[in-house]
A and B are shown apart, each in its own frame.
Chain A
Amino acid sequence: MSIEVLKPGLLTTPQDFGRQGFTHLGIGRAGAFDAPAYRLANALAGNARDACALEITLLGPTLRFDCDACIAVTGAPLSVQIDGVEHAMWSPLFIHAGRTLALAAMRSGCRTYLAVHGGFDFEPVLGSRSLDVNAALGPLQRPLRVGDALRIRETGNGSREMKFNWSIDPRPWFDAESPLRLLPATHTHLLDAESRQALFSQAFQVSNDSNRVGVRLRGVPLRLDTPVELISEACVAGTLQLPPSGEPIALGVEHPVSGGYPRIGQIAAVDLPHLAQRRPGDAIRFAPCTLDEARQALRERERELREMEMLIATRLQQGA
């Protein structure tokens, strides 16, 4: 039960929900950057929510299956081909032993998820099968390479041949355009008047050196009224830091556990998946938001996601 990597894609990594509870030891969470897309890939592949899947960046891998498998592809749109035949994303797919799955370049967005029924069978490292690329921690300690053999966990069911002819509507789950909701943070009030306005009025551009650690934004530089000397303290994913260059960095899922730059905003957790889908060159706008609104939106999204997971599980049980 394994999959051979014929082409690895640009940056393809095993991910689950990430490593939790080790922040005090300098070990970050990592995990799938677009968590809802990751969860829906697992749901469509008939997996538990936290099975290990692959996170694919900009350009997809080519994989040869040596066994029958049920799979699903979600996230940023790309061409999915099995032995040259186009297949749908956001749908359960059956692939025969010996066939090759080729995922092409993304048409928009930045991250796509591939789940296989059973999940990828890596040994957990500190409780997680997520690769922290920057810390070289987790399965393989590096992204996928040509020639890797990826084992699939056997479940004893679900790999019989099936014809699926349905998919879910990706629109609620893929968004690389809407403004990101931004909560005020510790040092927002220290921005000078122009910068406070520019934070919400300008379209920032995602820079080329963005990755899972942080999404770097280009734009009219933002300035504080008076510079501050800060001591290093905790950071979380979604924090908008302002380094001396004046161009903000939105921290991603591999953010350092602490940092000393002023924090000028916090992206609402509900919009982190949308941050994950911005690619270099894309525009990012921010919209002001309160913590209560952010909480409310997150609860609502979680309810919709759970409903969708249940709906998918029901349809898979019905067999088609």
Chain B
Amino acid sequence: MSELTAEPLSEDALLLRFDDSIDPEVNARVHAAAARLRAAHLPGMVDIAPSYAGLLLRFDPLAWEDALADESAHARLLASVETILRDPCTTARFPQTRVVEIPVCYSSEFGPDLDEAARQAQLSARDFIARHTAADYSVAMVGFAPGFPYLLGLDPILHVPRRATPRTRVPAGSVAIGGAQTGIYPRELPGGWRIIGRTPLRLFDPQRDPPCLLAPGDRVRFRAIDADEFSARVSHPA
């Protein structure tokens, strides 16, 4: 499957589907389409929200209904979307992707699962950290909680399964691995991913504009820092 398909989810939502797999190339197409549709400023558009292989469009149906036409609001919106995505001239106008560096203190204090994850990967903790900081990641989507980035690009050797019993409290800033994915907890939350370190950066702050440090499509690199640099930079809410 690689053709674009579209499905009405509800009276005010259309889901575009680019594929049915978790694949960086597919996900990049989702973000490219999202950028084009944002730039097109379609009327009544409320949300343009990427997931791994899909793009949610939430819209005001009144902006797309036409009492004189037989077509539904969804069909009219989809026709506009297809025209925009087919137009070769819009390709050049994507915004540059951002690269965001995330400092992480990898230690057993901030990463209680670091040693166990390294053992499972048959690496020393040091090599595990080196591999985690060597890769280029991309934010496939943001979900689970406000500002939680699902990152693609994890070194396959670092794929470790989730904990059998999820923790009831994972501290804000925890950097974690769940299977093939890595992510960062924006605030204290329950979670089953393996915690390998913590960033002093604040991923979500509703008073900030934009409220989230990372947006879908952003590129991410991790940089190892020591406990001193961590405490100097920590900005988590109490």
A193 contacts partner chain B, Cβ-Cβ < 8 Å: no
Which residue in chain A gives the minimum CB-CB distance to B51? A233
**Which chain B positions have C-beta within 8 A of A125?**
206
**Which chain A positions have C-beta within 8 A of B58?**
23, 236
B28 contacts partner chain A, Cβ-Cβ < 8 Å: no
A186 contacts partner chain B, Cβ-Cβ < 8 Å: yes
B147 contacts partner chain A, Cβ-Cβ < 8 Å: yes
Q: How far is the CA of A256 from the CA of B56 in the complex (A)?
A: 13
What's the minimum C-beta distance from A228 to chain B, rounded to whole angstroms?
Answer: 10
**Which chain B positions have C-beta within 8 A of A26?**
142-148, 212
- Whether A291 contacts B211 by the Cβ 8 Å rule is no
**Which chain A positions have C-beta within 8 A of B200?**
none
**Which chain B positions have C-beta within 8 A of A292?**
72
Indicate with 1 or 0, residue by residue over B35-74, a CB within 8 angstroms of chain A CB atoms.
Answer: 0000000000011111111101010010000000000111
Given contacts A25-B211, A186-B7, contact A233 B206 (CB under 8 A): no
**Which chain A positions have C-beta within 8 A of B74?**
291
What's the minimum C-beta distance from A185 to chain B, rounded to whole angstroms?
Answer: 8
A295 contacts partner chain B, Cβ-Cβ < 8 Å: yes
B224 contacts partner chain A, Cβ-Cβ < 8 Å: no
In chain A between 8 and 27, which residues have their CB closer than 8 angstroms to a CB of chain B?
20-27
What's the minimum C-beta distance from B43 to chain A, rounded to whole angstroms?
Answer: 14
**Which chain B positions have C-beta within 8 A of A126?**
206, 211
**Which chain B positions have C-beta within 8 A of A239?**
9-10
| Size category, A interface | 35 or more
B7, B145, B187, B216: which contacts A24 (Cβ < 8 A)? B216
Indicate with 1 or 0, residue by residue over B2-15, a CB within 8 angstroms of chain A CB atoms.
Answer: 00000111111101
- Whether B144 contacts A295 by the Cβ 8 Å rule is no
Q: How far is the CA of A257 from the CA of B54 in the complex (A)?
A: 13
- Whether A268 contacts B11 by the Cβ 8 Å rule is yes
A232 contacts partner chain B, Cβ-Cβ < 8 Å: yes
B11, B72, B215: which contacts A25 (Cβ < 8 A)? B215
**Which chain B positions have C-beta within 8 A of A85?**
none
Which residue in chain A gives the minimum CB-CB distance to B34? A24
Q: How far is the CA of A231 from the CA of B55 in the complex (A)?
A: 13
Given contacts A21-B46, A24-B50, contact A266 B10 (CB under 8 A): yes
B21 contacts partner chain A, Cβ-Cβ < 8 Å: yes
B22 contacts partner chain A, Cβ-Cβ < 8 Å: yes
- Whether B9 contacts A135 by the Cβ 8 Å rule is no
In chain B between 57 and 107, which residues have their CB closer than 8 angstroms to a CB of chain A?
58, 61, 72-74
B160 contacts partner chain A, Cβ-Cβ < 8 Å: no
In chain A between 68 and 99, which residues have their CB closer than 8 angstroms to a CB of chain B?
none
Q: List 6 A-B contacts (CB under 8 A).
A: A24-B216, A25-B147, A25-B215, A135-B145, A232-B150, A234-B49
Report which A residues bind B (CB closer than 8 A). 20-27, 125-126, 135-137, 183, 185-186, 230-234, 236-239, 256-258, 266, 268-269, 291-292, 294-295, 298
Extra A-B contacts (8), CB below 8 Å, given A24-B216, A183-B10, A231-B53: A21-B47, A23-B49, A26-B148, A185-B9, A238-B10, A258-B51, A258-B143, A295-B73
